[in-house]
Amino acid sequence: MVRWGGPLVTSHQSNPSILLVEDDATTRDAMILILKEEGYSVASAANGREALAHLRGSHRPKLILLDLMMPIMNGWEFWIEHQKDPALKAIPVVVVSADGNLPQKAAPTGVADYLRKPVDVELLLDTVQRYC
């Protein structure tokens, strides 16, 4: 894997897939670029409803990166639906948010992990690697 601006470490043999759920196009595009540069296959959705449609209509990713504040269906509403479906519930979810109380809000929910925005690239890549 090539770290963003760093040395060659290893390579992703099977291109693990990630679903990025993020309504901000600039943030979404930047994260997709970073993850694809690392060899991940990335699908995206602009809200929770799009994410659920994607998950129910195509192959399942290894990881979901989930923004919380989105229109139509926010991250917490998505999380509730995600938990109701046994096939989806098996996919780890990492919450990505600028919420200052993120640790307190995320801990009791059972999400796999959380990242604060603005996202530190190294921390993002380390977290994704851990779940993929």
Quote the CA–CA distance of 71 and 36 in Å, as a whole number. Answer: 26
pLDDT score recorded for residue 5: 40
Q: What is the pLDDT of residues 1-12, one digit of tens each?
A: 333 343 333 334
Sequential DSSP letters for 107-125: GGGT-SEEEESSPPHHHHH
| All residues at 6 or more sequence positions from 17 whose CB lies less than 8 Å from its CB, including other chains | 40, 41, 42, 43, 59, 61, 62, 63
The structural domains of the chain, with segments of one domain joined by +, span 17-131
Sequential DSSP letters for 91-110: S-EEEEE--TTHHHHHGGGT
Continuous H helices in 43-101? 48-57, 75-84, 86-89
Quote the CA–CA distance of 79 and 32 in Å, as a whole number. Answer: 21
Q: Assign a CATH topology to domain 17-131.
A: Rossmann fold (3.40.50)
pLDDT score recorded for residue 57: 87
Q: What is the pLDDT of residues 58-117, one digit of tens each?
A: 789 999 999 999 999 999 999 999 999 998 999 999 999 988 887 777 777 889 999 999
pLDDT score recorded for residue 130: 96
pTM recorded for the entire structure: 0.86
pLDDT score recorded for residue 68: 92
- For 28, left (φ over 0), alpha (ψ -120 to 50), or beta? alpha
Closest CA to 22 of 128, 95, 131, 130: 95
pLDDT score recorded for residue 115: 94
Q: What is the pLDDT of residues 20-67, one digit of tens each?
A: 999 999 999 999 999 999 999 999 999 999 999 999 987 899 999 999
Bridge partners of residue 96, in order along the sequence: 67, 115
